[in-house]
Amino acid sequence: MGEVKTPRQWFLWSIALVYVCAFASIYVQIPGLYGDEGILPVRLQMPKVQRPLLEQESLLGLGPSLGLAPQQVLELTCLVGVALALCAVLLEPLRDSLIYFCLRVLYLSVYNVGGDFLHSEWDVLLLEAGLLAVLVAPLGLLRRHSSYRYHDTVSFWLTRWLFFRLTFCTGVSKLASGDPAWYDLSALSHHLENQMNPTPLAWYVHQLPDWLLRFGAVVVLQSEIIVPLVTFFAPIRRLRLFGFYVQVCCLFLQLCYILTGNCSLLNLLSITLSFSLLDDDHFNSNTGPKKKKGCGQTLVSYLLQLVELAVYLFILYCFISLFKLQINWEEKTLSSKTNFTQKGFHAFLEVFQDLTIWIGVLSFTWEAVSAMLTCVCTRGIVSKLWSLVQWALITAAAAAVFALSVVPYTSMAGMSVSKVLPAVRDAYSAVERYQLVGAYGIQHRMTSAEGRPEIILEGSYDGLTWTEMNPMYKPGNVNAVPPIVGPHQPRLEWLMWQKAQGGDDTSPWFTGLLQRLLQGKPEVIGLLQVDKAQYPFSQKAPVFIKANLYNYHFTDPTKDKTHLQAWWRRQYKREFFPIVNLDDPKLKKLLEEFTIKPATCIGKGNRVLMIDLKHHLIRDHVKGLSGSLLLSTLLATVAGIFLLKAVFSWVSGGPKPRPALADHKTRKPKEPSETAEKSQVAAPSNRGGKKDSNEKKDSDRSPRKRK
């Protein structure tokens, strides 16, 4: 693989942008989720006995020594994370390893005290991608310029391995779990309804013909299983580019996910990791004259093209044979049906479990050896030794991360972790709390054909007349337009969506939610509705509350003729939580272990008071804003800054050329004709003729000075 300077910068910039979205999204939800009047106060997650600094799992443990409450430390952590990430997005010199290390420490601190609200797949993925950003980013913050590193391809390879694990495990989990909707290819139609936050476009896509949606399911399975296997680690550059465009552009896989299911952090991280399939040659257009190839190079080029063509034909063969694709020319439709069983797919996994790992080992070894040979060819003994030392350290760290990632990779459905070396498993257990690597695809849920289950909360003053509490970010009122949420991640709605698909009603966070709604706490009400006019109990809290479970379906214009008035139709399924009030014995029993005690008053110094006042000033500005509006405004501001920079750069005549970096590259000696031409051009601009003649004589006498 060639140089990766440009894809590396894209990766680092995108990771910083994801950090901005993640920290800002959590910050706006902290009062309702973790505040003293929130669902699960963060102070209840803190250990009762203060631990030493090195044994702290979160920076929130430093709160007592600073005179700050846990909620204040959590909010300050998110604010510092937003500020650091924004600086990395806007300023290229700050995309440094130290900055990304600080960002990961901050997010890990929030993750460790976040409880169920932050234990999602995209949080684990962000922590692992953040670790890779620490290894990929240059360590040049304390220096003026960061030199080119020959081991960049080694550390950047880890992002490709992570992208492969994420894509391949996501596809494998659909079939390895035995989900019948994926075996009969009806899953895409149900997925449009059952995904976390469907958009209005999902309703229109759901109205497409059934045969087209089935073909879409075939495309998804092929793009997530077959294409990564044959393209992500291919030695042929065009095959890797094909894999990139399949995932991002060509088949609009990630684009379709974003347009129909809102832009989540998982989609942004998937696009960020896909840059690992690119190299600098993809961005640099060579407009110079092409060199003539010899007979040997021409033969190798033809052989590579034949191999590339064979891979494309293999992918097409899998399309046709594995899914029995047949075109009906009379009806102008395309029929598809799986041509394998669950038992056969598990046999496929048993073979490819070891194969994919060994492919990764060979690909990593190739990159490491290539980088080592490049270091050996560096001119100068000191530069050569320094490059080899850097290469050894980064390669050892990358090999350790790769070995640790094998453990969660083999834990996906249908694979066996027993084949991993015991020493590797022990090392993974020792560092598991730091979330260095994660498992993906193991949270796959069966795609229900019965519709989208939703928990609907209802309140009442007398126990007879009930009014629904329709949330902002999930289906409630059947006439409400599906909301545009992304890239904001509403944590409460996410947990309610998961609980509706098979959870019980005894979770502490759900019990805390009912209690806070009965108490009328504005922090928690703000999680459901920012607009008080949309919340029926904004003036007075309800006396009674209950929860029912409904199945939601997108309306079908050809059947129920209600598409002009309603987006959804629903059916009552069962009672999810019985009628309770604040004095109900059942509610008190459930809250017994999670009793919210009054917050203790903490003495504050003058410096702490200044921090507290500035923090309250920021909180007052964002109070009353929805998370989606806040993040949209923040991203629009970032886009506006880049637009202004581009306009100023265009007005000033383009960016000024930067001085050459000390990259220790071997430079070719200039031809005498080129030197003579440059000296003739530069002669009129020099004021001292003697100086020019002396320089010209020196250049003629000493060719070494021209190198």
Q: pLDDT of 404-432, one tens digit each?
A: 999 999 876 555 556 677 888 889 999 99
Beta bridge partners of 335: 326
Predicted pLDDT at 642: 92
Separation of first and last alpha carbons in the chain: 28
Instruction: List, for residues 282-321, the tens digit of each pLDDT value.
Output: 777 554 555 566 677 788 888 889 999 999 999 999 988 9
Q: What six digits make up the tokens of 702? A: 């000493």
Tens digit of pLDDT for each residue in 637-661?
A: 999 999 999 899 888 875 555 444 4
* Rounded average pLDDT over 488-495: 92
Q: Does residue 256 have a pLDDT over 80?
A: no
**Across residues 504-519, what is the average pLDDT?**
86
* pLDDT band per the 50, 70, 90 thresholds, residue 141: low
Closest among 264, 206, 259, 210 to 452, alpha carbons compared: 206
Q: What angle do CA 377, 278, 241 make, to 5 degrees?
A: 125
Q: Are 211 and 335 within 8 A, CB to CB?
A: yes
What is the predicted pLDDT for the residue at 34?
Answer: 93
Calpha distance 154→367 (Å, rounded)? 6
Percent helix, strand and coil across the chain, each rounded to 5?
60, 5, 35
**Segment among 18-32, 310-324, 485-499, 603-617 with least mean pLDDT:** 603-617
Domain boundaries, the chain: 452-582
Higher-confidence residue of 257 and 147: namely 257
For 282-286, 334-338, 379-383, which range has the lowest pLDDT when averaged over its residues?
282-286
**Contact at 8 Å (CB) between 525 and 436?**
no
- 600-643 per-position pLDDT tens digit: 444 444 545 556 656 667 777 777 788 888 898 999 999 999 99
The tokens describing 338, both together, are: 């799986």
CB distance 407 to 442 below 8 Å:
no
**What does the pLDDT look like over 520-564, one tens digit per residue?**
999 999 999 988 888 999 889 999 999 999 999 999 887 766 556
* Confidence category of residue 197, pLDDT binned at 50, 70, 90: confident
What distance in Å separates the CA atoms of residue 316 and residue 311, rounded to the nearest whole number?
9
Q: What is the pLDDT of residue 669?
A: 45
Residue 638's DSSP bridge partners are: none
CA distances from 265 to 22, 50, 225, 261 (A): 8, 34, 22, 12
Instruction: Write down the pLDDT at residue 597.
Output: 47
pLDDT digits (tens, 9 = 90+) for 355-376: 899 999 999 999 999 999 988 8
Whether the per-residue pLDDT at 704 is higher than 70: the answer is no
CA distance 326 to 477: 41
Q: How far apart are CA 439 and CA 368, in angstroms?
A: 25
The values of phi and psi at residue 452, to 5°, are -95, 115
Q: Given CA atoms 660, 662, 663, 667 in this order, what sign does their dihedral have? A: positive
Phi and psi angles of residue 457, each rounded to the nearest 5 degrees, phi first: -85, 140
Of 145-159, 170-184, 237-251, 680-694, the range with the highest mean pLDDT is: 170-184
By C-alpha distance, which of 393, 398, 390 is closest to 366? 398
In the numeric block, the tokens 């063969």 are attached to: 317
Alpha-carbon gap, residue 77 to 129, rounded angstroms: 19
Average pLDDT value for the chain: 82
Q: Name the nearest CA neighbour of 195 among 554, 524, 456, 626.
A: 554
Q: Tell me the three state secondary structure of residue 79.
A: helix
Q: Give dist(CA 495, CA 477) in Å, integer.
A: 19
Both tokens of residue 657?
């050329």
Burial of 286 (0-12, 13-18, 19+ CB in 10 A): exposed
What pLDDT digit, counting tens, does each position of 564-580 carry?
Answer: 678 999 999 999 999 99
- Which structure tokens are listed for 621? 């500005």
- Secondary structure (3-state) at 574: strand
Kindly report the number of other CB atoms within 10 A of residue 13's CB atom: 17
